[in-house]
């Protein structure tokens, strides 16, 4: 394997070599569950799902840890706003994230730890940092001493003197204003856990360091997340972990965010698009195709027009495989084309990989048009293999969408009855009646395509 990935820490694309031959260990910063997920939230999950699938297709055993931050200032504030316990907010939205990942076909992570389940590991990490002079207790709060770590700022390419102070409400006498909280002392009405420095709750950055090393050890292959986490979250993670003596992540991978009208998608901007709402308008597999089709380091501008164009591209792939199934019967996945593998090995080049998919679809359709069934079967197997790596194989999605497929079977019977009536009208030269039938199907969201193998139908976007 010659997989090359862009390492944020070194700012270069370099050949990936895992610590243990044949095995890859990855940690992905998961959700802070103060609200249900919008399409911007799930992009990291999709990117790392594709990476995991490609590593597995390349013969690696993958361990993927994706955490859940279930205690945080935002969760506490949301609970207070709604008048419900913080843990109720966290649990409800954790389930919403799980449902979104499942709907988009993401393979579940190997482990999905919650922050509240790893307080012991966090206390142990703080003990190590205090003992070696990289952290200090201040009135029950524990802070990381930024000045004690010479490489602070290297990951994000910043100088400490140019950084804004770490925001800690009501705290003005830290050793350095950039020192960040590892542990926050208990406040009235807030959840807390006992520690040698008094009751309190963890800081966000501490949580991920403790959970990553708990499941992957002091050194692991890849740490990932959205570009918005690069600073301060990942900068603080690498500082506290390496200051404690752990190598921590050997490669840092960051995906760009999803934007609307050129702005980062966020609830504060009021432009969230909840996954649960979007998949009422488009098939989940079409949303997955759209969110995964851009290069992971490129911004993705979300719009209904772009979504429609992407869904149409997916349906061309889907239509080819349906046509092949009708003609050829069972279509097992085949070999991956070399051009596809080369694209995926080149910093997970999904756009180039999809170009190979569409070229193969065109070649397969041409083979079907000329009656070259052997070539059509070979191209169909290649398309299935490539789409499987991307988590988009239409035939596999039929099994996932059992109820939807059953409904499609019912619709198929009704549509074919209408098509038979349309054909009778055309034979009788009653073209007005034939056109009226086609128009009624279009109004119902049924698109027709005339092919050498007969008329095929598909549901248009939003139906």
DSSP annotation string for 326-343: HHH------PPPHHHHHH
**Close Cβ partners of 215 (under 8 Å, ≥ 6 residues apart):** 27, 63, 65, 110, 111, 113
Domain ranges of the chain: 4-255, 283-400, 405-459
Q: Which CATH number applies to 4-255?
A: 3.40.50.620
10 Å Cβ neighbour count for 201?
Answer: 24
Q: How much is the pLDDT for 268?
A: 54
CATH topology of domain 283-400: 1.20.120
182, 126 contact by CB (below 8 A):
yes
Helix (DSSP H) and strand (DSSP E) numbers for the chain: 15, 15
Antiparallel, parallel or unpaired: β 180-185 and 141-144: antiparallel
Residue 417's pLDDT is: 75
Report the DSSP pairing between strands 23-28 and 61-66.
parallel
pLDDT score for 403: 46
From the CB of residue 176, how many other CB atoms can be counted at a distance below 10 Å?
Answer: 15
pLDDT at residue number 1: 61
Q: What pLDDT score does 195 carry?
A: 96
* Whole-Å CA distances, 266 to 28, 91, 262, 270: 20, 21, 12, 7
Q: Are 248 and 218 in contact (CB under 8 A)?
A: yes
Beta strand residue intervals within 270-366, DSSP E:
300-301
- Sheet with 135-138, side-by-side order of all strands: 135-138, 141-144, 180-185, 200-202
Residues 6+ apart with CB under 8 A from 340: 353, 356, 357, 386, 389
Asked if residue 28 lies in contact with residue 252, where contact means CB atoms within 8 angstroms, the answer is: no
pTM value? 0.85
CA distance 326 to 386: 21
What is the pLDDT, as a whole number, of residue 238? 97
Q: What is the enclosing helix (H) or strand (E) of 369? A: helix 350-369
Contacts for 337 with CB less than 8 Å, ≥ 6 apart: 356, 360, 382, 386
DSSP annotation of 146 reads G
Confidence (pLDDT) at 430: 84
Each residue's pLDDT expressed in tens, for the chain with a length of 463 residues? 689 999 999 999 999 999 999 999 999 999 999 999 999 999 999 999 999 999 999 999 999 999 999 999 999 999 999 999 999 999 999 999 999 999 999 999 999 999 999 999 999 999 999 999 999 999 899 999 999 999 999 999 988 877 777 766 556 678 998 999 999 999 999 999 999 999 999 999 999 999 999 999 999 999 999 999 999 999 999 999 999 999 999 999 999 999 886 666 665 545 558 999 999 889 999 999 999 999 999 999 999 899 999 999 999 999 999 999 999 999 999 999 999 999 999 999 999 999 999 999 999 999 999 999 999 999 999 999 999 999 999 999 987 665 445 555 566 667 777 777 887 888 888 888 878 888 888 777 777 776 666 676 766 655 5
pLDDT at position 163 is 78
């Amino acid at each position: 394997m010659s997989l090359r990935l862009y390492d944020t820490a070194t700012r270069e694309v370099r050949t990936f070599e895992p610590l243990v031959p044949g095995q890859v260990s990855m940690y992905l910063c998961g959700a802070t569950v103060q609200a249900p997920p919008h399409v911007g939230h799930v992009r990291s999950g999709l990117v790392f799902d594709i990476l995991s699938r490609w590593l597995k297709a390349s013969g690696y055993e993958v361990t993927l840890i994706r955490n859940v931050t279930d205690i945080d200032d935002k969760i506490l504030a949301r609970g207070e706003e709604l008048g419900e316990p913080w843990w109720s907010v966290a649990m409800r939205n954790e389930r919403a994230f799980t449902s979104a990942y499942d709907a988009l076909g993401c393979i579940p992570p190997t482990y999905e730890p919650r922050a509240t389940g790893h307080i012991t590991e966090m206390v142990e990490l703080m003990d190590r940092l205090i003992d070696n002079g990289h952290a200090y207790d201040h009135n029950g709060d524990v802070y990381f001493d930024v000045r004690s770590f010479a490489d602070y700022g290297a990951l994000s390419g910043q100088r400490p003197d140019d950084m804004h102070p770490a925001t800690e409400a009501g705290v003005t006498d830290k050793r350095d204003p950039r020192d960040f909280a590892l542990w926050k002392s208990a406040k009235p009405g807030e959840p807390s856990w006992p520690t040698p420095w008094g009751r309190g709750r963890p800081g966000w950055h501490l949580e991920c360091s403790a959970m990553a090393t708990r499941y992957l050890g002091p050194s692991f292959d890849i740490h990932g997340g959205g570009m918005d986490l690069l600073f301060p979250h990942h900068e603080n993670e690498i500082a506290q972990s390496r200051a404690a003596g752990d190598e921590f992540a050997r490669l840092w991978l960051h995906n760009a965010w999803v934007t609307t009208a050129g702005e980062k998608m966020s609830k504060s901007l009021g432009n969230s698009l909840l996954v649960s709402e979007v998949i009422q308008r488009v098939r989940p597999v079409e949303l997955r195709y759209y969110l995964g089709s851009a290069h992971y380091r490129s911004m993705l501008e979300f719009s209904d027009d772009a979504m429609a164009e992407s869904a149409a591209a997916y349906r061309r792939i889907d239509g080819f495989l349906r046509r092949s199934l009708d003609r050829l019967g069972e279509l097992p996945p085949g070999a991956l084309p070399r051009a596809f593998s080369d694209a995926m090995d080149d910093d997970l080049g999904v756009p180039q990989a999809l170009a190979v998919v569409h070229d193969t679809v065109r070649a397969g359709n041409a083979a079907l048009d000329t009656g070259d069934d052997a070539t059509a079967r070979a191209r169909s197997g290649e398309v299935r293999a490539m789409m499987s790596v991307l988590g988009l194989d239409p035939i596999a999605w039929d099994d996932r969408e059992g109820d939807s497929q059953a409904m499609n079977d019912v619709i198929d019977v009704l549509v074919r009855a209408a098509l038979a009536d349309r054909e009778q009208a055309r034979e009788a030269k009653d073209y007005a009646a034939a056109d009226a039938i086609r128009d009624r199907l279009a109004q119902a969201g049924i698109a027709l395509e005339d092919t050498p193998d007969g008329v095929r139908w598909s549901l248009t976007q939003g139906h």
